[in-house]
Structure 1
Amino acid sequence: MSIENDEPLSPAGRLFVQPATHQIINCALGLDQPLGFDAARTVVSNSLMIKHSRFSSILVTDDHGREHWRKIGLDIDRHIILRSDPVGEGDNDEAAVNDYLADLTVSSPLNTDKPLWEIHLLSAHKCVVMRIHHALGDGISLMSLMLTLTRKLDDPEQTPTIEPLVSSTRNRRELGALEKIIKVLKMIWYSLIYVFEFIMRGVWVKDGKTVIRGGEGVELWPRKLATVKFRLEDMKTVKNAVTKATINDVLFGVISLGLSKYLGNRSSNSLQEGLQITGVALVNLRPSPGLQDIKELMKKNAGSGSGWGNKVGIMLLPVYYHRNGSDPLDYLKRAKMMIDRKKLSMEAFLSHQIGYFVMKFFGPKVASLLNYRVVCNTSFTISNVVGPREEITIAGIPVTYMRTTSSSLSHAITMHMVSYSGQADMQILVAKDLIPEPENLAKCFEDALLEMKEASVRK
């Protein structure tokens, strides 16, 4: 089989096609009314998405076991799947769609005889589910590319915008020479500590046993999915209560308080105060491309393969169990302190370099095993992707929500949050034999934010 014109997968792309770390992103778009097959086909045919070579290439493996992308003729009809009848067992649209997505995360891989993406039209539930293999690109780039299928509700000729993820540099004072030296020393110190912890997680260090911790083989267990609904205005209110806090700080404060509430409800008093519960986050190491830069990245990809793909690192994000009674804002302050140190370090970059080194010299199976062990020895997965601020449409139909989840991992809890038009919905995917009622966990998170908001107003 000739591979002259084939494009090799990036190291992270090779990781995502290994059985132990196989990942598919499942994004659900709620609609004001059902989207028909012909309308969906027209939108996809005219989109920038299918002009990207990855979306018209199949995954092939050469004689040396190296994976490549091979360009083929694209048959769009094979990628659009119409489901006219109700799906799932839920008694409402949200529950039915969540049941459908939960099943997809465990038992429905994408066929490798066609490009690795699909669009499922759930007509009975006014929902579109986009399934995109993580090897095609990182989450932020795929979000930007996917949004080229949509238009602004108040300006149908324009594609939506994504708020920049970089913080403002206004009012940032210049550091003195001594402060710069101290900052560099802190960066080196934290980087050494966190990289050592990352390596130890891949070898033998693991979280303490709790009712929410998974482990080896849990990725094959049946799943349930629940939705946590946050108002961005509430998160901003809490953010403003602590100096220089961010929405990510608030999210981790909410997770810490919510998990503490849930564990307190399900566990005896034997849980140790301050017990560490460690999360895993994939960190995009490139600036967010944004919709305005998608075409440029595609040009780079066509020429050298350097413009697109996955360039991600891993960051370990611990939260801590505390019994009820403490100030809700204390959870935010602890989360902010932890995240500030993580930002100052080079943990994500160095974990990427470690993975690249292992991939290059030991191959994808060993690299996949290292990442699998890190997941097995921690307690949850977390991601947060910024979506469009304005309301959007697809084929002229208003989009009512945006939610995403991914293939199941050896975690009992996987959490993915996406913001859209003033709302932030977080999908909680759980191993249902360990967490049989994820709706209770979702309520713990929602109550945690409200308690933090009340404490912020009183402050």
Structure 2
Amino acid sequence: MASEEGIRLRAIRTKVADTDATTAGRDAYDGEIGQEMEPVTPAGRMFMQPNLSCCIVCIIGFKNGINVAAMKKGLEETIVQHKRFSSVMKQDENGSKYWVRTKVNIDDHIVVPPASAINPESSNKIEDYAAELALALPFDQSRPLWELHILNVKSADAAASAIFRIHHSLGDGISIMSLFLASTRSVSNPISLPSVQPLSTEGFNSNERRAGSMYYYFSLFRWTCITIWCTLVEVGKFLLLLLGVKDSQTALKGSIGVGRLAKSISTANIGLDDMRIVKNAVGGTVNDVFLGIVSSGIRRYLQQHADKLAIHSSNNQGNHPVYGGTKEAVAARISIQDKCIDVLRIRATSLVNTRTQPGLPELSTMMQGGSQARWGNSIGYVLTPLCMKKHDDPLDYVRKAKETIDRKKCSLEAIFTYWSAQLILKLVGAEAAVNMSYNALVHTTLALSNMIGPLEEAMFFGNPITDIVPTVFGQPQALCIHLQSYMGKAKLVVTVAKDIIPDPDILLQHIVYSLEDMKQAACARTH
């Protein structure tokens, strides 16, 4: 996730929104502030439905204390100028919804909580405060759907923190991260924006493209056949998910209503260099390593719970004919539990950017719309199975993850899920589209996301950033895991429903330890 050059984000440049809305739409809002109107995208309408109302929450740590007045002024000059962050959602007499530009009172969007709102005894006071936003009141629909909480409180990694809370209908992670980065500057060169590494593109290499030979056409035909086959297989699995093929019930699996439960956030710093050592050992990518350590960590977590159950049972049940009381009986039960974990069905829903340009597009292009980069929620779901089989070689988890991700890269599953939701929404309505997406999420165990941040130290309105911690609230899953890169390091973020997973720190450590074991195994192979 690092490169020598990276891409450069251009400075923020706003553009008057397209006013080619319907005449009925214009007439419905004559006299209101700001007549710049834009139809709400299908995904935006879906995220406004109660069952799938999600919020993006991002903690930004700063090296110095936050000047509230300077923060307000900076926001007014940058983020507030963006059309989506200065619009409210309106509905005309025909039921069509539009984003309508409005005047923004910055004070309505800045929250400075009192000292009593922060637990001084907690070692994760900032994360705890952010987690409480999961139960916060819904956004006021008469204002743009975002807010910024400013906490001038020291934490382990920062002197102060700011927490963005943004409704998911405003845009996906790529859109919002692009907007945020376009408002930052490089610490080493304050007049330029920080560089961000692009993702590598997939497809034929340049030599094959230039060749124009029979080998090229054969490769194209072969690639097309593989894509069609993999798409049919993966789409078939997705349809089975919608029909009710659920994940195994484990200590990590939530149920209907879990999206509205209290949350807990745990974080850990991991080295991208460690992940590169592992990926090089198996010839994979950072995404392969991410999925591999999550699979291994979750298996360790479930194994630990199984071990406790077996030991607890043997200590309390004596020589019960089922539980047994000897060490041999306990060992036999653990062996059985190992085999049970091996066959567990645990899947993650991974959000994939469906834009034609990979990585983080330049904000100026995205804000202009068009086919190359689109602002909004241009994301599809990919159903990713996790390897639960026990492996003696830790690197085998990454190898299995690579097999899974390579198969996903050859399919159009993300595009299918994106466009099928759009089609259902247009033909049947938002409720049916939301039910489809909701079922896809509630039948799985967790959500996974990997977001790329700046390669160099960045500052937000003159204040250097120490770390970036993103997460999402509202999805019908008890577990959400994010990986956020910044300055050659990675932040691992585990967000859980506290009633389902009361010990997220243990799960987090299992994932971290899995990476350490894989690194040791990779280093041992090179000596």
TM-score by length of 1: 0.93
**Which secondary structure does the structure 1 equivalent of 2:495 belong to?**
strand
Identify if the C-alpha distance between structure 1 residues 148 and 183 changes in structure 2 by more than 3 Å, giving closer, same or farther.
Answer: closer
Equivalent residues of 1:359, 1:367 under 8 A apart: yes
Question: What letter is aligned with 1:157?
Answer: I
Equivalent residues of 1:235, 1:250 under 8 A apart: yes
Equivalent residues of 1:90, 1:99 under 8 A apart: no
Partner Cα separation in structure 2 for residue 110 and residue 263 of structure 1: 37
Q: Which residue of 2 aligns with 1:267?
A: 306
Equivalent residues of 2:199, 2:358 under 8 A apart: no
- Are 1:217 and 2:257 counterparts? yes
Equivalent residues of 1:282, 1:314 under 8 A apart: yes
Please state how far the C-alpha of 1:176 moved relative to its aligned partner: 4.5
Partner Cα separation in structure 1 for residue 204 and residue 464 of structure 2: 36
Residue deviations 1:23-75, cap 9 Å, x none? 1111111111221210101211222x222211110122333443321111111
Please state how far the C-alpha of 1:357 moved relative to its aligned partner: 1.2
Question: What letter is aligned with 1:253?
Answer: G
Please state how far the C-alpha of 1:124 moved relative to its aligned partner: 1.9
Question: What letter is aligned with 1:55?
Answer: F
- Are 1:296 and 2:365 counterparts? yes
Equivalent residues of 2:134, 2:262 under 8 A apart: no
Identify if the C-alpha distance between structure 1 residues 274 and 222 changes in structure 2 by more than 3 Å, giving closer, same or farther.
Answer: same
What stretches of structure 1 of length at least 5 have no aligned partner? none
Partner Cα separation in structure 1 for residue 485 and residue 305 of structure 2: 30
Equivalent residues of 1:384, 1:416 under 8 A apart: yes
Equivalent residues of 1:26, 1:130 under 8 A apart: yes
Question: What letter is aligned with 1:148?
Answer: A
- Are 1:60 and 2:90 counterparts? yes
Q: Which residue of 1 aligns with 2:290?
A: 251
Please state how far the C-alpha of 1:408 moved relative to its aligned partner: 3.1
What stretches of structure 2 of length at least 5 have no aligned partner? 1-26, 155-159, 209-214, 308-333
Please state how far the C-alpha of 1:288 moved relative to its aligned partner: 4.9
Partner Cα separation in structure 2 for residue 279 and residue 442 of structure 1: 16
Q: Which residue of 2 aligns with 1:284?
A: 353
**Which secondary structure does the structure 2 equivalent of 1:235 belong to?**
helix
Q: Which residue of 1 aligns with 2:149?
A: 120
The match for 1:356 among 422, 425, 439 is 422
**Size of the alignment, in residue pairs?**
453
- Are 1:11 and 2:51 counterparts? no
TM-score by length of 2: 0.81
Q: State the Cα RMSD in Å.
A: 2.3
Identify if the C-alpha distance between structure 1 residues 320 and 203 changes in structure 2 by more than 3 Å, giving closer, same or farther.
Answer: same
Please state how far the C-alpha of 1:105 moved relative to its aligned partner: 2.2
Identify if the C-alpha distance between structure 1 residues 168 and 412 changes in structure 2 by more than 3 Å, giving closer, same or farther.
Answer: closer
Equivalent residues of 1:141, 1:290 under 8 A apart: no
Identify if the C-alpha distance between structure 1 residues 313 and 291 changes in structure 2 by more than 3 Å, giving closer, same or farther.
Answer: closer
Equivalent residues of 1:84, 1:123 under 8 A apart: no
Question: What letter is aligned with 1:2?
Answer: A
**Which secondary structure does the structure 2 equivalent of 1:373 belong to?**
helix
Q: Quick check: which has more Rg, 1 or 2?
A: 2
Partner Cα separation in structure 1 for residue 415 and residue 71 of structure 2: 39
Partner Cα separation in structure 2 for residue 261 and residue 76 of structure 1: 47
Partner Cα separation in structure 2 for residue 290 and residue 177 of structure 1: 28
- Are 1:158 and 2:188 counterparts? no
Question: What letter is aligned with 2:55?
Answer: I
Partner Cα separation in structure 2 for residue 383 and residue 290 of structure 1: 13
- Are 1:2 and 2:28 counterparts? yes
Identify if the C-alpha distance between structure 1 residues 397 and 235 changes in structure 2 by more than 3 Å, giving closer, same or farther.
Answer: same
Equivalent residues of 1:252, 1:319 under 8 A apart: yes
Identity of aligned residues (%): 34
Please state how far the C-alpha of 1:207 moved relative to its aligned partner: 0.7
**Which secondary structure does the structure 1 equivalent of 2:499 belong to?**
coil
Identify if the C-alpha distance between structure 1 residues 26 and 333 changes in structure 2 by more than 3 Å, giving closer, same or farther.
Answer: same
Q: Which residue of 2 aligns with 1:22?
A: 53
Question: What letter is aligned with 2:495?
Answer: L
